[in-house]
Chains A and B, each alone.
Chain A
Amino acid sequence: MSDNDWTPDQPLVSIRDVHKSFGNLEVLKGVTLDVMKGEVICIIGPSGSGKSTLIRCVNALNTIDSGSIKVEGQEVHDPNLDKLDLRKKVGMVFQQYNLFPHKTALENIMMAPLKVLKQPQAEVEERAHKLIKRVNLGGKENAYPGELSGGQQQRVAIARSLAMNPDVMLFDEVTAALDPETVNEVLLAIKDLAQDGMTCILVTHEMGFAREVADHIYFTDRGVIVEHGPPATFFTEAKDPRTKEFLSQIL
Chain B
Amino acid sequence: MKSGTRNNTDLAVLKPFNYSPTGSVHDLQFSRWLAEFSPRSLIFFVFLFSLWPGFALAQSNYSMAQALEALWRWLPFVVGQGFVLNLVVSFLTMLIGTIAGVLLGLGQISPLRPLARSCWFVTQLFRNSPWLVLLFIVMLAFPFEIEIGGRVFQIPDWLKAVFGLALPIMANISEIVRGAILSVPTGQWEAADSLAYSRHQTLWLVILPQCFKRMIPPWMNWYAILTMATPLISLLGVEEIITLSRQAMEAEDNHPELLVPFFGFALVIFFAYCYPIARYTLRLEKRFAIRQ
* Interface set of A (CB-CB < 8 Å, partner B): 59, 61, 83-85, 87-88, 90-92, 94, 96, 98-102, 111-112, 115-116, 157, 160-161, 164
Q: Which 4 residue pairs are nearest across A and B when measured between Cβ atoms?
A: A98-B191, A92-B194, A87-B196, A98-B187
Shortest beta-carbon distance from B273 to chain A in Å: 33
Partner of A87, one of B187, B195, B206, B210: B195
Interface string of B70-97 (1 = CB under 8 A from A): 0000000000000000000000000000
Q: Judge if B9 is at the interface, Cβ distance under 8 Å.
A: no
List of B residues within 8 angstroms of A111 by Cβ: 195, 205
User: How distant is the Cα of A111 from the Cα of B204 in the complex, in angstroms?
Assistant: 12
List of B residues within 8 angstroms of A88 by Cβ: 196
Partner of A96, one of B187, B197, B205: B187
Interface string of B205-228 (1 = CB under 8 A from A): 110011000000000000000000
Closest to A114 in B: B205
Given A87-B196, A100-B210, A161-B194: 7 more A-B contacts, CB < 8 Å: A96-B185, A98-B185, A98-B190, A100-B188, A100-B191, A112-B197, A116-B201
Interface string of B21-43 (1 = CB under 8 A from A): 00000000000000000000000
Q: How many residues of B are in contact with the other chain, CB < 8 A? A: 17
Partner of B190, one of A83, A94, A112: A94
Task: Please tell me if the beta carbons of B191 and A94 are within 8 angstroms of each other in the complex.
Answer: yes
Q: Say whether, besides A102-B209, A102-B210, A112 and B195 are in contact (CB < 8 Å).
A: yes
Closest to B187 in A: A98
* Interface set of B (CB-CB < 8 Å, partner A): 185, 187-188, 190-198, 201, 205-206, 209-210
Q: Say whether, besides A61-B194, A88-B196, A164-B195, A115 and B205 are in contact (CB < 8 Å).
A: yes
Closest to B184 in A: A101
Task: Please tell me if the beta carbons of A116 and B195 are within 8 angstroms of each other in the complex.
Answer: yes
List of B residues within 8 angstroms of A102 by Cβ: 209-210
Shortest beta-carbon distance from A147 to chain B in Å: 12
List of B residues within 8 angstroms of A94 by Cβ: 187, 190-191, 194
Task: Please tell me if the beta carbons of A115 and B197 are within 8 angstroms of each other in the complex.
Answer: yes
Task: Please tell me if the beta carbons of B205 and A87 are within 8 angstroms of each other in the complex.
Answer: no
List of A residues within 8 angstroms of B210 by Cβ: 100-102
Task: Please tell me if the beta carbons of A112 and B209 are within 8 angstroms of each other in the complex.
Answer: no
Shortest beta-carbon distance from A146 to chain B in Å: 9
Task: Please tell me if the beta carbons of B196 and A116 are within 8 angstroms of each other in the complex.
Answer: yes
17 A-B contacts (beta carbon < 8 Å): A59-B193, A83-B193, A83-B196, A87-B196, A90-B194, A92-B194, A94-B191, A98-B188, A99-B191, A100-B192, A111-B195, A111-B205, A115-B197, A116-B197, A116-B198, A157-B191, A161-B195
User: How distant is the Cα of A94 from the Cα of B191 in the complex, in angstroms?
Assistant: 8
List of B residues within 8 angstroms of A116 by Cβ: 195-198, 201
Partner of A91, one of B185, B187, B188, B194: B194
User: How distant is the Cα of A83 from the Cα of B190 in the complex, in angstroms?
Assistant: 13
Q: Which of B185, B196, B209 is the most central at the interface, judged by chain A CB atoms within 10 Å of its CB?
A: B196
